Each structure stands twice: as structure tokens, then as C-alpha cells.
Amino acid sequence: MFRRMRLAGRIGLVAAYLTFGWLFGLALVVWWFLATVRAFLRARRALAAFTRCPRGHTVAQFGVFRCTCGAVSEGWAWICPICRQESGYVDCDTCGRAVRNPRLG
């Protein structure tokens, strides 16, 4: 009697897993999909020719930039070709305010 109840409990657990287990997988796939879309949109914004500072000025993302390592180089604003470090922000040419790296969100 007791043993049979334990068996029924185990079958119930397996049935519950088979019924609802896929929900966890679905949530994981949805989360992964949204993270991929978000990363794609951030990369698209970071690769555009211009971005905007908090005051709305146009800031070029390609040009001559000085890295914190001291190197002055021409190219993409966000990754230094000398030390390979990713920059967190660049200064707006008009108002001097920090413009956040779009790849960082």
C-alpha cells in the first residue's frame, strides 16, 4: 500500500515534468531570443555613422579618438586598435558631455 503510493508519487512527478517541463525550455529560448535581438540592436546603433549626446547633438562614431591608454588613432570610436580595450564613452564635440557606448546598453 505504502510502496504503491510512493510509485504513484513518482509517476505524478514524471507526469508533471512532462506536462510543464517544456515551459522552462520555452522561457529559456524566449530569453535567449530577446537577448540576441537586444545585442543586435545595440550593435546596429554602435555601427551607425553618428549617435546622439544627451542634449541631442550629433556625435561621429568614426574619426580620430584618444584612448585612455594614450593612443590617438583613427577608426571606430568604441574599440582602441592599439590596446583592444572597449571604450565606455566619448565626449560630445559640441557640449563636452559623455556619450555612452551603445553596445553597453
- In the complex with Zn ion, the residue whose CB is nearer, 46 or 67, is 67
The piece of 1-9, 27-35, 37-45, 67-75 that touches Zn ion (CB under 5 A) is: 67-75
Q: Quote the CA–CA distance of 67 and 54 in Å, as a whole number.
A: 21
- Choosing from 83, 86, 88, 104, the residue that interacts with Zn ion (CB under 5 A) is 83
Q: Are 81 and 75 in contact (CB under 8 A)?
A: yes
Contact between 100 and Zn ion (CB under 5 A)? Answer: no
Among 78, 87, 92, 101, binds Zn ion (CB under 5 A): 92
In 3D space, the residue among 21, 16, 76, 71 whose CA is nearest the CA of residue 50 turns out to be: 76
